[in-house]
Each structure stands twice: as structure tokens, then as C-alpha cells.
Amino acid sequence: MDINARELKAKLDNNEDFVLIDVREPYEHDEFNVGGQLIPLGSLPHQMEALKKHQNSEVVVYCRSGNRSGSAKDFLQKNGFSNVRNLTGGMMGWIAEFGAD
């Protein structure tokens, strides 16, 4: 099940335990982000060994619009991750909901 901006903000505000991954490019991450670990989609396959410890954790992936993070979600699920959620609308949805402050 995916997650929307309001649900993600609540998780962040409540300091819930989950893994947050930004699959955008570094320049996009530098412009605005919500604290996710930067792993651009193209480098995700090379980070699998480091991410294996999170296979059974809740993982939330995000990008600009939700498309790249949708691909990241599929990739992670195909590689044994059991609880991956895509931020629907991505950072565009977040900014529309909360602004870029």
C-alpha cells in the first residue's frame, strides 16, 4: 500500500521507525527534500548489499512525481523487500500540500 504526503508527514512528525529513500538526482535532493537518504534510482541496484538489512523494515521511497519511486518500489519488492511504500505524488504532491519550507 502506498503512502500520501499527509501520512508521511505524520510518520515523520511522530518519529516513527522506517527507512526513507529519495531516488531523485542529487541536484533535486539539494533543492528540496524531506530528509530521505539519497540513492538515485540508477544507483539503487549498486546499493542493495547495504540496504539488505532493511528487507523486513518499512521502506518509503519518493521522487519528484512518484514515477521513479514507483520503479524503485517494484525493484525493491522483486529483490525481497516485503514492506515498500511509494509516496504518491512525490515531492510535487508534498509541496502542493505543505509548501517548500
Q: Is 57 a catalytic residue?
A: no
**Active-site residue identified among 3, 8, 63, 84:** 63
CB 24 within 8 A of CB 43: no
Burial call 52-69: b when 16+ CB within 10 Å, e when fewer = eebeeebbbbbbbbbebb
User: What residues are labeled active site?
Assistant: 63
